[in-house]
Amino acid sequence: MDGARALVRMLLALAITVALVAVIVSRIQHVAGNGGLPLSNASVIREQAADKHLDPALIAGVIYAETKFDPRTSSAGALGLMQLLPATAQYIAHLSGGVRFSTSDLATPRINVAYGSWYLRYLLDHYEGDEMLAVAAYNGGLANVDAWVAKAHQEGKTLSVAEIPFPETQAYVQRVMRAQAEYRATYPHQLGLT
């Protein structure tokens, strides 16, 4: 009887091990099959892209650059998938017609992506559709980018990525633009691009 129980325990342990290995292999194949590019909340991204007239791959690219789809609080206190500061989100809530705002709202992907997408749309409108400038302002601040653009215009040129004076913002813009292209190529169906 003890031998039979031991055999059953051993077979059960083996079955659990095989199941765990299968799950791990499946996840590795999924990540490798998508170039290691994570995506979650695709329906929220599609919804906000349609509502705000944005490229869903741009929203995904910003989320990737901000959090790689792993929402966490930044050292500056920014929250959620699109890393919004509570003061910025409260301002967005007010401008977009919200009647009340709670910092805890930023943990909800639907709300966080709605606010972040609203801000992206605002920045794109401010920069007449120039995605590079909008993304730079999302990271480096509207006032900074306005100053950089004004300086470039005074010098008779337009601001390019290479001329962004903040190395962090320059790298951020490159990361978002690269991710945007990769999301368009990797997830066209999930993002509603097909």
Residues carrying an active site annotation: 66
Q: What distances in angstroms separate CA 117 from CA 37, 73, 105, 128, 190, one per listed residue?
A: 20, 19, 15, 16, 18
Reduced 3-state DSSP string for 105-137 = HHHCHHHHHHHHHHHHHHHHHHCCCCHHHHHHH
**DSSP assignment letter at 133:** H
Q: Which amino acid is at 65?
A: A
Q: How far apart are CA 163 and CA 170, in angstroms?
A: 8
Label residue 25 left, alpha or beta by phi (over 0 means left) and psi (-120 to 50 means alpha): alpha
Handedness of CA 138, 141, 147, 148 (dihedral sign): negative
Instruction: Measure the CA dihedral 147/158/131/84, to 10°.
Output: -20
